Structure 1
Amino acid sequence: MYEERASRLSGAVVWTNRPSTQPVVRPVLPDGCMDLLWSEGKLLVAGPDTRAYVPEGPSAFWSGIRFFPGTAPALLGVPAHELRNRRVQLADLWPAREVRRLSDRIAAVPHPASALEALALERAEPPGAALRRLVSALAAGRPVAATADELGFGARQLYRHSLVAFGYGPKTLARILRLQRALALARSGVPSAETAARSGYADQAHLSRDVREFTGQTLGSLLR
């Protein structure tokens, strides 16, 4: 069973996923975010996805903190593009001795998700104003070029910044955020054609192509 709540770290989400009596493996869809994960005594990092990630199995207990888009690389000390579509152990990024100390700390408490949140609060910076404005503008469907102008970025400067912060360029981030808008509408019962129009797609076929590209499934199969 999956549960989440807003974190005390601005823009982040704390979550847990417990095995159920009728386990179902569900894909993790691209969302513009990166996560710090805890499972079976190990700390891991989920990099930014450009395709659906299918877990190996539903039997493990997972805890995580999902960071506001663009904020995790500063905490990890690694550009986001180096972790794109990857799951890596934190010990591959940080000194092994430090990771062992943190792992012992998390293993000693009854709620690993809260321990992950405490770790993030100690070490992570909340999203800055420029980053929030960038993500908010793209999430609202603002054109990339107009957003860059409003923030005082050149096209190449914004692209380089986005690779480090998000793992891909601003146009890919905009498409992923648009997909998330569409999925939220479709899950609330909005018909597909209306979902496409309200999310900023040219038409329903355009929505279908993006869903297939980023998730490997049809919109109907995702909703089922």
Structure 2
Amino acid sequence: MFPGAVVWENAAAVDGDVLPDGCMDLIWMNDEVVVAGPDTRPFRATGVVGRPIVGMRFAPGALPVLLGVHAEEIANHRVALADVLSGRAGRELRGRILDSGAPARTLEAFAAELRAGIEPDPRVAVMAAAAARGAAVGDVADAVGVGERQLRRLARRNFGYGPRMLARILRLQAALRISAGGVPAAEVAAAAGYADQAHLIRESRELAGRTFGALVSG
């Protein structure tokens, strides 16, 4: 398995909203490979009955360097891999998946091939970890070892948006994980680092398009 990546499958191809999570995906759907850019708002995913969707979700900041693309260029978009990746590799992956009949395994092998010879920028992981802790932008910049202006450029290139948006998205995801055990919203807000429950509700509406209670209830 590619470090930090998760392979997923939606066998039922049910329509639904994909929430911002800081990640990017390679997705096999409708016999095409698609790159899911980083989202700042819900993305309405539509499937075709009888056509399973298989994807590989990469940790925040991990996929852009493999594809040689700036994440901000494809933020809030789904783009054909062949339009993103130069050369024949993007076009050939479709044929490899069709020939193998094993999209998950083929996506994993493809990611490993892309990673060979590429040295990830260690600052990306530091930035993601600091943002997940809710560190102030100045503190994130200090942890990364750059000024705030350069930090914003690094963030847009690797995550698709600035460090503040990254922190907001990761905080909402943390709140959703905390709430999974039936924790009351006020306690979730405090544990996830929100000022109060009203702050959590506002952020949920802005990033997910629904109140936090609606998100949790499904």
- The TM-score, its normalising length taken from structure 2, stands at 0.92
- The change in CA–CA distance for 1:127 and 1:220 in structure 2 (over 3 A counts) is farther
C-alpha separation between the residues in 2 aligned to 1:154 and 1:188? 39
CA shift, 1:54, in A, is 1.0
**Structure-2 change in CA distance of 1:223 and 1:142 (3 Å):** same
Fraction of identical pairs, as percent: 49
Q: Offset at 1:86?
A: 0.2
Matched, 1:51 2:41: yes
1:75 alignment partner AA? L
Residue pairs, 1:136-151, within 5 angstroms: 136-151=129-144
Structure 1 pair 62/96, CA: closer, same or farther in 2 (3 Å)?
A: farther
Offset, 1:77 = 1.6
Which of 23, 29, 37 is matched with 1:33 structurally?
Answer: 23
- Which whole-Å CA distance do the structure 2 matches of 1:130 and 1:98 have between them? 28
Q: State the shift of 1:100 in Å.
A: 3.1
- Secondary structure of 1:49's aligned partner: coil
Quick check: 1:190 aligned with 2:180?
A: no
Distance 1:93 1:202 in 2: 40
Match of 2:145 in 1: 152
Query: For residues 76 and 91 of structure 2, what CA distance do their matches in structure 1 show?
Result: 25
Aligned to 2:95: 104
Distance, in Å, in 2 between the alignment partners of 1:32 and 1:127 is 17
The 2-side partners of 1:134 and 1:162 are apart by 8
TM-score normalized by structure 1? 0.89
Aligned length: 214
Say which SS state the counterpart of residue 16 (structure 2) adopts: coil
* Match in the other structure for 1:78: 69
Contact preservation (8 Å) 1:11, 1:127: no
Which residue of structure 1 lines up, in the alignment, with residue 123 of structure 2?
130
The alignment's C-alpha RMSD in Å is 1.7
Amino acid aligned to 1:186: S
**Greater displacement, 98-107 / 62-71:** 98-107
Moved more, 64-73 or 202-211: 64-73
Report the CA distance between 1:70 and its aligned residue: 1.0
Deviation of the 1:57 alpha carbon = 3.7
